[in-house]
Amino acid sequence: MNTSATFSDTDAAPPRSLHLLPVAVNTPAHSGVGDLLSYASSAPLPPGTLVRVPLGAREVLGIVWDAPETPQSLPAGVQPRAIAGVLQGIAPLAPAWRRLVAFAARYYQRALGEVALAALPPQLRDLDPEQLQRRLRRTQAPVPAAGTIKPIAHSAEQSTAIAQIDVHPGPFLLFGSTGSGKTEVYLHCVARALAADPQAQALILVPEINLTPQLEARVRARFAPLYGDAALVGMHSGMTPAQRLKSWLAAHTGAARIVLGTRMAVFASLPHLALIVVDEEHDASYKQQEGARYNARDLALWRGREQGAKVILGSATPSLESWHASRPPSEDDPQGGRYQRLYMPSRIGAGALPRVRILDMGQQPRHSVFAPPLLAAITERVQRGEQCLVLLNRRGFAPVLHCHACGWKSDCPHCSAHQVFHKLDRTLRCHHCGAASRVPRACPSCGNPDIVPIGRGTEQLEEQLARLLRNVVVEPAGRAARVARIDADTTRAKGALEEQLAQVHAGEVDVLVGTQMIAKGHDFRRITLVAAVQPDGALFSSDFRAPERLFALLMQAAGRAGRDAQYTAASEQPAEMWIQTWHPEHPVYATLRRHDWPAFAGQQLAERREAGMPPFAHQALVRADARSQEVAQAFLSAAADAARAAGLPGLDLVHLFPPVPLAVQRVAGVERAQMLLESPSRAALQAFLAAWQGVLHAERPQHKGLVRWLVDVDPQAI
């Protein structure tokens, strides 16, 4: 680990009484500055201490770090700058936390200070000592409540899974169908861990913010009677800076026994961590897409092993990496995988999984948005007072406006993508850079007033369904059918998502239209029919993970139907999942019809093994952003040539593919290119990437117009 020093202008040597300390600070990305900077302190400070230090003309937050293995000496005649202050009252960050951060920085090829400081609440950088002391006084250990909780009866499958988790070290992959009661297994294991040790802490990760309110309410109801309301805190990007600081302090001091959060919570300071739960472990949202591109699921596994905490991964559609890692021993593979696989195939309460119906759109009337059989099924369900969910993973009214006279399309002026037509506010918006403009009255190119939307988004589906169901009466209420939409556009305001979900749960919505944000994790008790309108796009994607993501999305969406066995039993028909497709014979739909994830996973893994793709190989992407595509690709090619010329370690086991433009190659006026690296050896790939960093730094000044470059280890999209 490199150690640099920040120096003052004076040439005098530091007094002997001063202590030279390595400090991690958030230095500019790709600045070439070492991982640690050296500062002077009048007193020794233990590693993990939070300090304020000067950096250039600014004063920034830093963390005193462990001394490097090779001690660094200052050049003769120079004096290090002094630490500006210590954040009093906050215990040093534990060695286990520092090891987690150091591993993440090393593995994902980012600066140590960048990862370490990003893991801390932003408000720690801004509070003066008096303000900080006031915050600390509010963070007190929770007072256990006097209440108790009723014993909960478990199904045979839940009891078996719990027994296995109790006696084995894990990690565990809890493979349970939607509605099988995985959450209850999580909560029981949390209860066991907290009861076994009065200081024990548990971390529960969910993939998206919109899944936290429902789960948080359930966790709070379960544990507040035992440990007090303050024993549970949340951690996600939707919280205010003050809320994030409060939660972080509660976890760091041990006042919080349970932390529930999104991927950022994997870095929470939990000195007494005993259990980690990763719900919906397959979800791509666990992969950070900006800055340090870490995968929270993978870091949770590393942290659990390193800290001696049990780790439970749960999903009805596990990632193929986790499925392969949990393979049972066999004659050909006596060792099996690293995880222990636990099965829970049955739904709680004898509820059946929904019947999957495939609609061949080639046999339906041309230009049908909803095939007549599907529309009839939705109408019947709504008339009986049942709820339906319609899934389309594209927001807006239409993907593009088009002029038939001259061929003009509503292209984004800054990106190689279309601006999406949003009818409600009459705007064209780019979903990549955010550029927005008013819808033109006529074609900007030829003046033709007849410009039309092409394609469909959730906004259009909502409008069309409202029109098609306008005369449908919901019995026994005797009111008109109601259609609502939940997507990123309707949930921007604070509290909007919770309010809309409450309306669905209360039965005030008959048909819910939305994107993937409503297709997973939500416990909709009244929904008996789910429909996927246009899922075919992912079948022929250039990304080899696209079929896996599509199968998982559709199976998760199907799992929203028929979750309440009593409610479904009262219906005249069993719960259903309808899929409108132009390719009804595709293998994805054939296995989905049987709810057969093991068969689908086996077929996909066989293809990947033959092609040498993850999890049988390891990948990294190096992306270059520049003012022109030529500069971006030239930088990547030159860096690859320099790596070969230098004979970098691991190169003999790493294949560097030629640079290519990204699918959306221009965003916000910046051209983007990428180079794929692949190796059968993770160690070889890591050794090469670490050695290549210096080459990339040295090559950058030679390419005028290069804006930035970044490394994405274990990419989730190619």
130 inside domain: no
Question: Where is the binding site, in residues?
Answer: 403, 406, 412, 415, 430, 433, 443, 446
- Claim to verify: residue 550 and residue 676 sit in the same structural domain: no
Residue 91: give the domain boundaries: 3-120
Tokens of 514: 């939305």
Please give the Cα distance from 109 to 29 (Å, whole number): 11
The tokens describing 87, both together, are 């954040």
Domain CATH code at residue 690: 3.30.70.1710
Count Cβ atoms below 10 Å from residue 278 Cβ, excluding itself.
32
128 is a domain residue: no
- From the number of C-beta atoms within 10 Å of its C-beta (0-12, 13-18, 19+), residue 130 rates as exposed
Q: Which of 610, 643, 672 is the last residue of a domain?
A: 610
SS3 73: coil
Contact 601, 320 (CB under 8 A): yes
**Is the bond preceding residue 47 a cis peptide, omega within 30 degrees?**
no
State residue 27 phi and psi, 5-degree precision: -80, 155
Task: State the pLDDT at residue 380.
Answer: 92
Count of the separate structural domains present in the chain: 5
Together in a domain, 583 and 700: no
User: What is the per-residue pLDDT across 613-626, written as a single tens digit (0 to 9) for each?
Assistant: 999 999 999 999 99
Query: Looking at the structure, do residues 205 and 266 belong to the same domain, yes or no?
Result: yes
Cα(8)–Cα(325) distance, integer angstroms: 52
Q: What CATH code is carried by the domain that includes residue 360?
A: 3.40.50.300
Is 139 inside any structural domain? no
Considering 94, 120, 146, which residue would you say is the last residue of a domain? 120
Residue 138 belongs to what H/E stretch? helix 129-138
Instruction: Tell me what pLDDT residue 238 has.
Output: 84
In this prediction, the residues of the chain whose per-residue pLDDT falls under 50 are 1-15
Q: Is 125 inside any structural domain?
A: no
Q: Are residues 482 and 571 in the same domain?
A: yes
Q: Closest Cα partner for 718 from 654, 632, 644, 660?
A: 660
What are the backbone dihedrals phi and psi of residue 525, each rounded to the nearest 5 degrees, phi first?
Answer: -80, -20
Extended beta strands in 280-422, E state: 310-315, 340-344, 355-360, 387-391, 400-403, 420-422
My answer on whether 190 and 324 are in the same domain is yes
Output the pTM of the full model: 0.89
Q: Would you say residue 146 lies in a domain?
A: no
Q: Are residues 386 and 412 in the same domain?
A: no
Q: Are residues 408 and 291 in the same domain?
A: no
Residue 133 lies in a domain: no
User: Which of these three, 120, 142, 174, is where a domain ends?
Assistant: 120
Tell whether 471 and 567 lie within a shared domain. yes
504 vs 392: CA distance, rounded Å: 18
pLDDT of the residue at 139 = 66
The pLDDT assigned to 201 comes to 97
pLDDT of residue 8: 37
**Could you tell me if residue 405 is inside a domain?**
yes
The pLDDT of residue 569 is: 58
For 537-572, give one letter per residue: b (16+ CB within 10 A) or e. ebbeeeeebbbbbbbbbbbbbbbbbbbbbebbeebe
Task: Report the C-alpha gap between 388 and 394 in whole angstroms.
Answer: 18
β-strands 273-279, 310-315: how paired?
Answer: parallel
CATH number of the domain to which 104 belongs:
3.40.1440.60
Together in a domain, 401 and 318: no
DSSP string across 176-203: E-TTS-HHHHHHHHHHHHHHH-TT-EEE
Could you tell me if residue 669 is inside a domain?
yes
- Sheet with 420-422: list strands edge to edge: 420-422, 427-429, 436-438
Both 105 and 36 in one domain: the answer is yes
| Cβ-proximal residues to 602 (8 Å cutoff; 6+ apart), any chain | none
Length of the chain: 718
**Domain identity same for 514 and 546:** yes
* Distance from chain centroid for Cα 138: 31
β-sheet bridge partners, residue 576: 355, 529
Measured between alpha carbons, how far is 160 from 176 in angstroms, rounded to an integer? Answer: 12
Annotated binding site for Zn(2+): 403, 406, 412, 415, 430, 433, 443, 446
pLDDT value of position 567: 59
Chain centroid to CA 699: 32
- Residues pairing with 295 in the sheet: 287
Q: Are residues 505 and 464 in the same domain?
A: yes
